[in-house]
């Protein structure tokens, strides 16, 4: 019963009433406000897990090392950017395909 009523309410196209621009605006605000108003180093702190662990257990030695390490911060950010670009490209392609198919 509830399924049927839900299907009915889904039939009218909800385009332009979803408030997508508000969603994007909120995300940008959430990210930009701290950058402007809070002075921090914004370090992502993989390495800082080490500190907390060695505080609790000073004699702990990592027993395995990553085989490939990005040679520098630039290489690392290149790889992260590549990862994001790949993902965003696929999302854009698929949503675009769906949109084109619909029209």
Partner 1 sequence: MAGLTTALLMIFSPKPAYAMHISEGFLPIQWAIFWWLLALPFMIIGFRSLNRICQKNPELKLLLALAGAFGFVLSALKIPSVTGSSSHATGTGLGALLFGPTVMPVLGSLVLTFQAILLAHGGLTTLGANIFSMAIVGPWVAFITYLIFSQCHQQKLGIFFGAALGNLVTYLVTAAQLAIAFPAESGGIMSAFIKFESIFAFTQIPLAITEGLLTVLVWNWLQSYATDELQILKLLKTGV
Q: What are the residues binding partner 1 (CB under 8 A)?
A: 2-3, 6, 10, 13-15, 18, 20, 23-24, 26-27, 30-31, 33-35, 38-53, 56-57, 60, 62-70, 76, 79-81, 83-84, 86-91, 94-95, 97-99, 101-102
Spatial distance between the Cα atoms of 3 and 48, rounded to a whole number of angstroms: 49
The residue (of 57 and 74) whose beta carbon lies closer to partner 1 is 57
Q: What are phi and psi of 71, to 5 degrees?
A: -65, -30
Closest distance of CB 32 from partner 1, Å: 9
Closest distance of CB 50 from partner 1, Å: 7
What residue has token string 């605000």? 29
Nearest one of 42, 45, 18 to 31, comparing CA atoms: 42
Q: What share of the chain is helix, strand, coil (3-state, %, to 5)?
A: 65, 0, 35
Closest distance of CB 87 from partner 1, Å: 3
Closest distance of CB 74 from partner 1, Å: 13
């Amino acid at each position: 019963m509830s399924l049927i009523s839900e299907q009915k309410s889904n039939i009218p196209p909800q385009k332009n009433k979803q408030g997508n621009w508000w969603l994007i605006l909120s995300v940008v605000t959430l990210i930009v406000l701290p950058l402007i108003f809070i002075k921090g180093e914004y370090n992502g702190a993989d390495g800082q897990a080490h500190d907390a662990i060695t505080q609790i257990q000073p004699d702990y030695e990592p027993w395995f090392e990553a085989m490939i390490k990005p040679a520098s911060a630039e290489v690392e950010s290149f790889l992260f950017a590549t990862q994001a670009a790949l993902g965003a490209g696929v999302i854009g392609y698929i949503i675009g395909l769906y949109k084109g198919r619909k029209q």
